[in-house]
Amino acid sequence: MSANTVGVGDPATTPTSQRVARIVGRAGILIPFLIAFVVLAIISPPFLRVGNLTNILDQQAGIIIVACAGTFVLIAGGIDLSIGAIYGLAGAVALTTASSVSPVVGVMAGLAVGLAVGIANGVVVTQFRINPLIGTLAMTFVVSGIAAIVTKGNLVVALGNHDFQAFAGTKILGVSSAAWIMIVIAVLAAVLLSRTTFGRYVYATGGNTQAARLGGVRVNAIRVSTFALSGTAAALAGTLDASRVLSAQASSGQFLTFTVLTGIIVGGTSILGGEGTIGRTVLGCLFVALIANGFNLLGLDPFYQQVTLGVILLLAVGVDAWSRRFE
Amino acid sequence: MQVDEAVHLEVRGLGKSFGATRALDDVSIAVRQGTVHAFVGENGAGKSTLGKIIAGVFAQDQGDLMLRGTTVSFGSPRQALVRGIALVAQEVALVPRLTVAENVFLGAEPKRAGFIDRGSLRARFDRLIADAGFDLQAGSVVGHLPIAAQQQVEILRALAREADLLVFDEPSASLSSVEVERLHQIIRALGARGHTVILVSHFLSEVLDLSDVVTVLRDGRVVRTSQTKDETEASLVTGMLGRPVGRAYPEKRLPPADSRVVLDVAGLSAPGVADATLSLRAGEIVGLAGLIGAGRSELARAIYGATAATAGAVTTAGTTLAGRPAASIAAGVALIPESRKDDGLILRRPIRENVSLTSLRRFERLGFVRRGAEGAQVRHALERVDASPILESSAGSLSGGNQQKLLFARALLIRPGVLIADEPTRGIDVGAKRDIYDVLVRLAADGMAILLISNEVEEILGLAHRVLVMRGGRLVAELSGPDMTEGGIVSAAFGTTTTSAA
């Protein structure tokens, strides 16, 4: 990261800095990701153990699922801050329903909650023309409040519900089902974004809303769809994690929004819309996970980890703004 | 070094690159005190870059900038302004929420004890405006003023800082003809008062009319600098293109007398448009003329369904349009919007995606884009408009003329019966303009009905078979045959005629 950002704030628009900008743009997150990987492998021998790596995948499953859907929202020119709240509510709803009715209905109920909140977000943003930042921030409060009511402010547990636990925790080829679901979702999202008409419309909507509208694209429908995807994905992540630990709490997703947005933006998706890919989002999330993993392996204070991630997000947004100056 | 007293600004051996593009190469020009010095050239010739280097917007890679014989270097437009050089840019750079006087003195407000001294600000403004002879109110909010007045505010701002060298970058590009005339008076007056003016312009008639000296640029190099009185429009174009051009407009081919009506607009009203009735026949190019703000673009957008109509109906081949872009596209009505960048292209996306955007459903199978079929059709559409760019490069990497061709190719892909082209040649260079004219004429010859909106009366006269004139949101005149003259159009646009409505 640092090697690529020396030019930030450099006022001279020399050909050299333009060339650097282009290289940074093309290679993007891959370079810092590889650097972090190699450095960790060298300084911390336990890092490369299969157990550690599959553990990272398992823990990141939820984050990457949400980030894949969040990439659609950002590309279409929106932003969804309510994913953490949806994650918490869906986990709580899924867990309680799994206990009271059945695990399958629990999962369905969790996903339905996310879909509903996602569509509500989309309607708020498109029909009421509320800025997505504010609209989804307000929705965060509404949804967190509902989650606190559902859980009565407590940690809800479903100890011994092994059927529900199997949703996230079944091992296949040594990797958890949560990780497998994440891999499938990432592949589907990549195909949806890069190969379908829907994906094209998402890029067009965020790249130039007015042009897309005049070109016959139903931009509001596209934006609502991206929020619906994001809400459903957040609910899936919440449900998976509730299944994994067999407990849920209204506030469990409080850092999720930040982590997911950092992953997406570090991956090179522009906060201004119109740009980004799923592959880069996955790499961005893994990069953030490597940093966190490194802090753990090296036994550093987790508060420094928080500071580091904040700085990384600022750098990523800075690089985005900087690379746009050469157009 | 010998210093010529009368030289105000000189550039020597100036070079500038943007990535792989050499924008300026070894450019040397001397601009004399008190002259109006024009830079002309095609888009990409480097004229605008040169103006911006002089005004401190860009830094040169090689060469020197000398102000009255002293080498200077500017890190920003602000530093250039300190040395008396101001830029009046194509896009007006004012704070829309502030008043005229506040904008004029922005960043240089007279202060007393840290507070803005309103009295002294007002007094200075009154002096300034009396000198300049502009008709502006100190308290008007800039955002509510027409572009022409905003430009005058920019000029005032330059004068308030005692700039004596003003760089005008395409100042008349977004003005109506009356406003252009007023601007020309202003530029002449500046010259007469001893200010040096650098005029970067596409409009050759403007250059010939206003400037004392003209420098022709081509591909980043100076072709020649000469006295304007020794040049003609033809000589400038030959210099810019490096070859003589043929006729400015292709030959007109009238549609057959019995060609059918393909678009019928009846009593259409929308914001900015009142009760518009018109019809277009297959193979016909109809010009839509009028002053800026007369409602031409608004009418185009209302026909297309980009804005909701409050009354009236649009029918094509028996179907009434639903008033949504998607429905118009399905019915074969295409719009090439006024602003390529704001309403037309997705600059950061590939050419392929930009061209296929409106007809993507045709290449769809089970939700997937069939890229092979898409690529073939996109390439074919681009060939029809004489463009052959690389499909995967971004739309933003193209010149203005080629960007416009993308929009034509996009329109062609829906196989339209009606094409509404709103200012299709704005801001593109001479050679590319002729290409667009050829495309328009060819499409009409193939049976398409075209509604052509243009600010250039000459362009409408050169291409259209008949002309509709708008004024104040209404269609006020229809001119055809011998009535189709510049005088007829202009007087109808200003309302100095009694010609009855179409």
Q: Which residues of B touch A274 (CB under 8 A)?
A: 346, 348-349
Q: Is residue B466 part of a domain?
A: yes
Quick one: three-class SS letters along A208-233?
A: CHHHHHHCCCCHHHHHHHHHHHHHHH
Angle A301-A305-A311 from CA coordinates, rounded to 5°: 145
Judged against a pLDDT cut of 90, whether residue A85 lies above it is answered with yes
B220 and B95 in one domain?
Answer: yes
B215 and B113 in one domain?
Answer: yes
Contact between A204 and B357 using a beta-carbon 8 Å cutoff: yes
**Closest alpha carbon to B222 in B411, B386, B11:** B11
Higher confidence at residue A87 or residue B133? A87
- Average pLDDT of the segment spanning A11-38: 68
- Number of neighbours of residue A4 by Cβ within 10 angstroms: 19
B284 and B200 in one domain?
Answer: no
Q: What is the pLDDT of residues B331-359, one digit of tens each?
A: 999 999 988 888 999 998 999 999 999 99
Judged against a pLDDT cut of 80, whether residue B502 lies above it is answered with no
Query: Residue A234's pLDDT is what?
Result: 96
Chain A residues within 8 A (CB-CB) of chain B? 11-15, 18-19, 22, 195-198, 200-201, 203-204, 207-208, 210-218, 274-275, 326-327
Identity of residue A189:
A
Distance CA A49, CA B325 (A): 57
Q: Which residues of B touch A214 (CB under 8 A)?
A: 304, 306, 325, 335, 337, 343-344
Which of B241, B270, B297 lies at the terminal end of a domain, its last residue? Answer: B241
- Average pLDDT of the segment spanning B87-95: 76
**Closest alpha carbon to A201 in B307, B346, B375, B412:** B346
Q: What is the pLDDT of residues B391-443, one digit of tens each?
A: 888 888 888 888 899 999 999 998 899 999 999 988 777 778 888 999 999 99
- Average pLDDT of the segment spanning B244-270: 82
Query: Residue B246's pLDDT is what?
Result: 54
Judged against a pLDDT cut of 90, whether residue A153 lies above it is answered with no
Q: Is residue B252 part of a domain?
A: no
Distance CA B192, CA B190 (A): 5
Please name the residue of chain B whose CA is at the shortest distance from the CA of residue A324: B348
CA atoms within 13 A on the CB side of A293: 29
pLDDT mean across residues, chain B:
86
Select from B304, B344, B368 the Cβ nearest to the Cβ of A195. Answer: B368
Enumerate the β-bridge partners of residue B290. Answer: B470
Please name the residue of chain B whose CA is at the shortest distance from the CA of residue A12: B59
Distance CA A112, CA A232 (A): 7
B281 and B213 in one domain?
Answer: no
State the best of B60, B76, B349 to mutate against chain A, taking most chain A CBs within 10 Å.
B349
Q: Which residues of B touch A195 (CB under 8 A)?
A: 368-369
Query: Residue B332's pLDDT is what?
Result: 92
Q: What is the pLDDT of residues A65-75, one digit of tens each?
A: 999 999 999 99
Q: What is the pLDDT of residues A267-299, one digit of tens each?
A: 889 888 898 999 999 999 999 999 888 888 888
Judged against a pLDDT cut of 60, whether residue B177 lies above it is answered with yes
Query: At B377, is the secondary structure helix, strand, or coil?
Result: helix
**Closest alpha carbon to A217 in B310, B232, B440, B359:** B359
- pLDDT-derived band of residue A163, with 50, 70 and 90 as boundaries? confident
Distance CA B433, CA B204 (A): 14
B284 and B161 in one domain?
Answer: no
Distance CA B410, CA B388 (A): 14
- pLDDT-derived band of residue A20, with 50, 70 and 90 as boundaries? low
Enumerate the β-bridge partners of residue B165. Answer: B85, B196
Which of B241, B270, B293 lies at the terminal end of a domain, its last residue? Answer: B241
Judged against a pLDDT cut of 50, whether residue A5 lies above it is answered with no
Distance CA B419, CA B333 (A): 6
B111 and B59 in one domain?
Answer: yes
Query: Residue B194's pLDDT is what?
Result: 87
Domain boundaries, chain A: 8-324
Query: Residue B496's pLDDT is what?
Result: 64
B333 and B463 in one domain?
Answer: yes
Q: Is residue B145 part of a domain?
A: yes
Judged against a pLDDT cut of 90, whether residue A168 lies above it is answered with no
For chains A and B, CB pairs below 8 A equal 90
Query: Residue A260's pLDDT is what?
Result: 95
Considering chain A, what percentage of its residues have pLDDT values greater than 70?
91
- pLDDT-derived band of residue A8, with 50, 70 and 90 as boundaries? very low
Q: What is the pLDDT of residues A219-249, one digit of tens each?
A: 999 999 999 999 999 999 999 999 988 888 8
Please name the residue of chain B whose CA is at the shortest distance from the CA of residue A19: B19
B112 and B211 in one domain?
Answer: yes
pTM of the predicted protein model: 0.75
Residue with structure tokens 């409080």?
A: A254
Judged against a pLDDT cut of 80, whether residue A6 lies above it is answered with no
Please name the residue of chain B whose CA is at the shortest distance from the CA of residue A201: B357
- pLDDT-derived band of residue B28, with 50, 70 and 90 as boundaries? very high
Element housing B312 (H / E): strand B311-316
Distance CA A278, CA B325 (A): 30
Select from A18, A196, A215 the Cβ nearest to the Cβ of B357. Answer: A215
- Average pLDDT of the segment spanning A96-122: 93
Query: Residue B243's pLDDT is what?
Result: 64
Q: Which residues of B touch A11 (CB under 8 A)?
A: 75
Q: What is the pLDDT of residues B214-228, one digit of tens each?
A: 999 988 899 999 999
CA atoms within 13 A on the CB side of A14: 11
pLDDT mean across residues, chain A:
87
Query: Residue A19's pLDDT is what?
Result: 64
According to CATH, what is the number of the domain A8-324?
Answer: 1.10.3470
Judged against a pLDDT cut of 90, whether residue B90 lies above it is answered with no
Number of domains in chain B: 2
Residue A214 CB contacts under 8 Å (≥ 6 apart), including other chains: B304, B306, B325, B335, B337, B343, B344
B270 and B237 in one domain?
Answer: no
ipTM of the modeled complex:
0.82
B340 and B192 in one domain?
Answer: no
Q: What is the pLDDT of residues B188-216, one digit of tens each?
A: 888 888 899 999 987 888 889 889 999 99
Angle B80-B149-B338 from CA coordinates, rounded to 5°: 95
CATH, residue B121? 3.40.50.300
- Average pLDDT of the segment spanning A194-206: 95
Higher confidence at residue A212 or residue B129? A212
CA distances from B20 to A4, A18, B168, B381 (A): 21, 10, 27, 28
Contact between A210 and B357 using a beta-carbon 8 Å cutoff: no
B34 and B177 in one domain?
Answer: yes
Residue A145 CB contacts under 8 Å (≥ 6 apart), including other chains: none
Question: What is the domain range of residue B207?
Answer: 7-241
Q: Which residues of B touch A220 (CB under 8 A)?
A: none
Which range is most confident: A166-170, A180-184, A247-251, B243-247? Answer: A180-184
Judged against a pLDDT cut of 70, whether residue A76 lies above it is answered with yes
B127 and B13 in one domain?
Answer: yes
Which of B207, B241, B275 lies at the terminal end of a domain, its last residue? Answer: B241
For residues A78 and A231, the answer to whether their CB atoms sit within 8 Å is: no
B398/chain A closest Cα distance in angstroms: 11
Q: What is the pLDDT of residues B273-300, one digit of tens each?
A: 999 999 999 999 999 998 777 889 999 9
State the best of B346, B355, B412 to mutate against chain A, taking most chain A CBs within 10 Å.
B346
Q: Alpha-carbon Rg of chain B, whole angstroms?
A: 25
For residues A179 and A289, the answer to whether their CB atoms sit within 8 Å is: no
Considering chain B, what percentage of its residues have pLDDT values greater than 70?
95
